[in-house]
A and B are shown apart, each in its own frame.
Chain A
């Protein structure tokens, strides 16, 4: 129950991201639609309460369960099964776990729009998807900071349902963060999250930098939330970090 919800300040989402979710590939956008997209994105930002919880667990053991690789973590019932996550976390000494949500306000507004304004509904839906990814970027920044404080380097996010990491990981992952209490995230019998604009993921913590995992700070999706740069360092060069 140590899961503490953090609220994230997200003042904008990338317009290009929203368009990408809408299937935009260079089509000319008429001015009316253009203005409408801006208006709906603003409404989505207003309706959202982006929040998240993160925790870091040490890797306890790597083994096999029913013939599949499994990574067991210390102090939690959460275990990560499958060969894709085993590869992704190869060499990790600890794992950061995150759950973020844009909040039920987004779902409530989506429902209202589905009954009243279907153009706005599809745009709002895309904006919500872009927004919750921003929240995940923010949560990841928290994990990167916690890793840096321990002198560790992080890999990239990996979510249940990717590769062969089963969706069945969701219930224990969420309860290990106390995510229902902290964030209001619930699961359906088919393991879908409500609010629908929610993301869960794990991030590996490593003793050596993961060269392929880094982009320049200016291109990093977590740059707005970064806690390491203000210390005069970066997440791949922790020498200046004060921890």
Chain B
């Protein structure tokens, strides 16, 4: 075969112009040849190369264009001391070549560890494991890389980036899904296809998972969202044991029939996974030889995705970006970002999602904090509370890159502008990481007054994104709202600019932060709402607003009726049938206990006594109102020292005596917390918590991901007014030391749940005692006893959370 013919099929297949056939299962074929369960199959490349080549050769004979190396688990972590990654890939590619296939694909499976934030493996460490495999594959002479059986979108992303940045080979990536149509981590086929094809994968698809009939609908859901070829390698149905041997229930004929349906839908690369045999591949060969690639559905849609949710706008639809996670002009947000206590940020995220936001803007731009570190932490933590895609809002390209690189989804970058420096720094980031990009119509000369000036800058931006290969539907122009009070021609100029951008730069979308328009004028919400309606009419696609503002969401919901987006006005009728202008802007008044007199709920009429009772019974609902009542007659100090702290002490005593059990303790702590919140808001103090004691650094030690005990301790310490620095779970000794040194903390609390992580605790204590001798260490957790605590060198043993609070109180003031 000539070199041209050799490269041409692959090139044509990756352009979607030819069909390509992979091989079938390796693992089940090796097991049929005597591989024991639980052994590392990859080592056979070294010990029994002839057996591996025999499997490859059977697939080549069956007509496979591509054979896949026996390297699924060949990463440094899984191989351990058994062999090096380089040895295994060299041997594996040689085994494959010996079967004389057209192409050899280097196979890369998951790392075997769970990535952060849910697991202990850092994104960069996963990347390094993959990068070493990719370099080994390229050095061994593989023709392409196939990343397969991925369940975690972040891990798949790490593998694709590792392939792209460490070799010049095509990279194909497939994920595995459960019966519910999601991966183990909740990613849908649409999200996977959008994210990975935007990132630059040469093909995306589904492998393993289930039988071909179950896989077909999943792969069809991928097709509209993938900008590259779509591939499928299903299992041969379900295995069962017959006479001691494992057989799969989908035979070659049935398998090929299911594949035919997928080819009709637009799939162009096929093969097989667990349980498929050379006979299955031969059946597919016959099928592929009689066909050409089928036409595919394409979506010209603005689309972004979080790990579990895709958000898209067809032309004519409008979207809402929540603006609240931004410290500018927001005291509580600033305080939360500075202190590192992000509960308030998480609360804002949840509230915005509930109010109808579809994307959340995230901005951590405060001069006194490490913006890059805080941004990455927020992006990670937000994945825990919301499924909404994020808009990474930063001006520093390094912050943007750090946040988007490991983001498990396709984010929106906010923003680039018309300045040459900005274009040169940010546009390549959006292209490399497959993000949508907001472009601001300002440049070295500032923000033009006229529509024409703004459109000119938009043109410059779009020229740069076109040149970088960013699709038009991923570019979102912000024409920048300016105050009507300073220049009453400004609103018209903005609206004209929006219309002109849409008309003159086809495919490009628009976005606008609306509220600047009303700056300097009274009753701003009304102006904002009116302007938003006008902007939608001019063609605005995305509004950056506070979705908690009923008036703004009213405009969005009603516009969707007028534009036809809300078909048959279904949503509107459902949500507005009972609305009237009598009570226009407020939230519906909460029914139930709030409106009852306290005595009706069995509570005291005296607010001081009632606050105490609420802590003791663990009810946070009525606490805020009660505490406000208390503060009418008393000062904050009284409320803390005479009500909340004594009540908490009493709860602690009851817990120790066994009259309270854990959830009661927690409910009481929650009620007290609601009280502290009111005191803090009323005292108007920035920064320090109500009573300002501390700091105390706490964490779950390295290797341990069970953090519930630590969370309970944190809650109680916070209640007692300690400034708690919570480093989270699976924390390295050096990280604990750095935090203790930075804050000169007099006390650190370490928790461990498993025997296997106690050594990490001992190591952390040793480091702290050596390098931060002023810091006492208390330890706790299921496996610890007072003796064990002494053995690991701890200064104190806390048998439970109330004990930890008592220790902290004696040490820290």
Compute how far the CA of A114 lies from the CA of B120 in the bound complex, rounded to whole angstroms: 17
Kindly provide the distance from the CB of B491 to the nearest chain A CB, expressed in whole angstroms: 40
B661 touches A22 (CB 8 A): yes
A118 touches B31 (CB 8 A): no
Kindly provide the distance from the CB of B490 to the nearest chain A CB, expressed in whole angstroms: 41
A189 touches B385 (CB 8 A): no
B618 touches A30 (CB 8 A): yes
Residues A75 and B36 in contact in the complex (CB < 8 Å), given A103-B184, A111-B384, A196-B705: yes
A 180-200 binary contact with B (CB < 8 Å = 1; else 0): 110110111111101010000
A173 neighbours in B (Cβ, 8 Å)? 38
Tell me if B689 is interfacial: C-beta within 8 Å of chain A: no
B658 touches A33 (CB 8 A): no
A103 to chain B: closest residue by CB: B184
B 3-45 binary contact with A (CB < 8 Å = 1; else 0): 0000000000000000000000101100100001111000000
B27 touches A77 (CB 8 A): no
Tell me if A63 is interfacial: C-beta within 8 Å of chain B: no
A161 to chain B: closest residue by CB: B755
Tell me if B128 is interfacial: C-beta within 8 Å of chain A: no
Tell me if B327 is interfacial: C-beta within 8 Å of chain A: no
Compute how far the CA of A175 lies from the CA of B176 in the bound complex, rounded to whole angstroms: 17
B38 touches A78 (CB 8 A): yes
Compute how far the CA of A49 lies from the CA of B38 in the bound complex, rounded to whole angstroms: 25
Tell me if B667 is interfacial: C-beta within 8 Å of chain A: yes
Tell me if B582 is interfacial: C-beta within 8 Å of chain A: no
Q: Which 9 A-B pairs have the closest CB atoms?
A: A184-B184, A176-B38, A190-B703, A77-B38, A76-B37, A2-B246, A176-B37, A111-B384, A194-B114
Interface residues of A in 17-64 (CB under 8 A from B): 19, 22-25, 27, 29-30, 32-33, 36-37, 49, 55, 57
B36 touches A33 (CB 8 A): no
Residues A119 and B118 in contact in the complex (CB < 8 Å), given A1-B27, A112-B385, A172-B38: no
Residues A189 and B120 in contact in the complex (CB < 8 Å), given A116-B347, A125-B708, A184-B151: yes
B350 touches A116 (CB 8 A): yes
Tell me what chain A mostly uses at the interface: helix, strand, loop, or mixed.
mixed
Kindly provide the distance from the CB of A62 to the nearest chain B CB, expressed in whole angstroms: 18
Interface residues of A in 84-109 (CB under 8 A from B): 103-105, 107-108
B 624-652 binary contact with A (CB < 8 Å = 1; else 0): 00000000000000000000000000000
Tell me if B569 is interfacial: C-beta within 8 Å of chain A: no
Give me 10 A-to-B residue pairs in the complex whose CB atoms sit less than 8 angstroms apart, sorted by A's number.
A22-B663, A30-B617, A104-B184, A104-B185, A115-B346, A119-B670, A184-B183, A188-B114, A188-B705, A192-B703
B618 neighbours in A (Cβ, 8 Å)? 30, 32-33, 119
A178 neighbours in B (Cβ, 8 Å)? 27, 37
Kindly provide the distance from the CB of B700 to the nearest chain A CB, expressed in whole angstroms: 11
B185 to chain A: closest residue by CB: A104
Compute how far the CA of A230 lies from the CA of B706 in the bound complex, rounded to whole angstroms: 40
Tell me if B664 is interfacial: C-beta within 8 Å of chain A: yes
A192 touches B705 (CB 8 A): yes
A 143-179 binary contact with B (CB < 8 Å = 1; else 0): 0000000000000000001000001000011011110
Residues A194 and B705 in contact in the complex (CB < 8 Å), given A111-B118, A187-B113: yes
B118 touches A114 (CB 8 A): no
Kindly provide the distance from the CB of A129 to the nearest chain B CB, expressed in whole angstroms: 11
Tell me if A123 is interfacial: C-beta within 8 Å of chain B: yes
Tell me if A221 is interfacial: C-beta within 8 Å of chain B: no
The contact of B120 among A57, A121, A180, A188, by CB within 8 Å, is A188
B112 touches A32 (CB 8 A): no
Compute how far the CA of A76 lies from the CA of B34 in the bound complex, rounded to whole angstroms: 10
B 162-201 binary contact with A (CB < 8 Å = 1; else 0): 0000000000000010111001111000000000000000
Tell me if B707 is interfacial: C-beta within 8 Å of chain A: yes
Compute how far the CA of A186 lies from the CA of B670 in the bound complex, rounded to whole angstroms: 34
A122 touches B712 (CB 8 A): yes
> What band does the interface of chain B fall in when counting residues whose beta carbon is under 8 Å from A?
35 or more
B118 touches A76 (CB 8 A): no
Of A30, A112, A173, A192, most B-chain CB atoms within 10 Å: A192
Compute how far the CA of A183 lies from the CA of B179 in the bound complex, rounded to whole angstroms: 12
B179 to chain A: closest residue by CB: A7
Of A108, A116, A119, A184, most B-chain CB atoms within 10 Å: A119
Residues A76 and B38 in contact in the complex (CB < 8 Å), given A25-B658, A25-B661, A116-B346: yes
B711 touches A121 (CB 8 A): yes
Tell me if A4 is interfacial: C-beta within 8 Å of chain B: yes
B239 touches A2 (CB 8 A): yes
Residues of B at under 8 Å CB distance from A? 25, 27-28, 31, 36-39, 110, 112-114, 117-121, 149, 151, 176, 178-180, 183-186, 208, 238-241, 246, 274-275, 342-343, 346-347, 350, 381, 384-385, 617-619, 658-664, 666-667, 669-670, 702-708, 711-712, 715, 730, 754-757, 760
A30 neighbours in B (Cβ, 8 Å)? 617-618, 664
Kindly provide the distance from the CB of A119 to the nearest chain B CB, expressed in whole angstroms: 4
B658 touches A189 (CB 8 A): no
A192 touches B756 (CB 8 A): yes
Kindly provide the distance from the CB of B638 to the nearest chain A CB, expressed in whole angstroms: 27
B384 touches A118 (CB 8 A): no
B37 touches A75 (CB 8 A): yes
Given contacts A24-B661, A188-B113, A188-B121, 10 further A-B contacts (CB under 8 A): A2-B239, A27-B658, A75-B36, A119-B618, A122-B666, A178-B37, A183-B184, A186-B110, A186-B114, A188-B703
A189 to chain B: closest residue by CB: B703
Kindly provide the distance from the CB of B656 to the nearest chain A CB, expressed in whole angstroms: 12
B708 touches A122 (CB 8 A): yes
B118 touches A194 (CB 8 A): yes
Of A25, A111, A123, most B-chain CB atoms within 10 Å: A111
Kindly provide the distance from the CB of A206 to the nearest chain B CB, expressed in whole angstroms: 20
Residues A111 and B117 in contact in the complex (CB < 8 Å), given A75-B37, A104-B184: yes
A194 touches B119 (CB 8 A): yes
B118 touches A104 (CB 8 A): yes
Compute how far the CA of A23 lies from the CA of B663 in the bound complex, rounded to whole angstroms: 9
A27 touches B659 (CB 8 A): yes
B37 touches A104 (CB 8 A): no
A77 neighbours in B (Cβ, 8 Å)? 36-39
B25 to chain A: closest residue by CB: A1
B274 neighbours in A (Cβ, 8 Å)? 1, 181
Compute how far the CA of A180 lies from the CA of B730 in the bound complex, rounded to whole angstroms: 21
A107 neighbours in B (Cβ, 8 Å)? 118
B151 neighbours in A (Cβ, 8 Å)? 184
B118 neighbours in A (Cβ, 8 Å)? 104, 107-108, 111, 194
A108 neighbours in B (Cβ, 8 Å)? 118, 185-186, 384
Compute how far the CA of A26 lies from the CA of B734 in the bound complex, rounded to whole angstroms: 43
The contact of A115 among B37, B384, B667, by CB within 8 Å, is B384
Of B38, B238, B756, most A-chain CB atoms within 10 Å: B38
B119 touches A118 (CB 8 A): no
Residues A114 and B707 in contact in the complex (CB < 8 Å), given A27-B658, A105-B186, A187-B113: yes
The contact of B31 among A2, A111, A119, A122, by CB within 8 Å, is A2
Residues A180 and B110 in contact in the complex (CB < 8 Å), given A49-B180, A188-B705: yes
B669 touches A118 (CB 8 A): yes
A104 touches B186 (CB 8 A): yes
Kindly provide the distance from the CB of B513 to the nearest chain A CB, expressed in whole angstroms: 27
Residues A190 and B754 in contact in the complex (CB < 8 Å), given A76-B36, A78-B38: yes
B670 to chain A: closest residue by CB: A119
A118 touches B666 (CB 8 A): yes
A103 neighbours in B (Cβ, 8 Å)? 184
A123 to chain B: closest residue by CB: B663
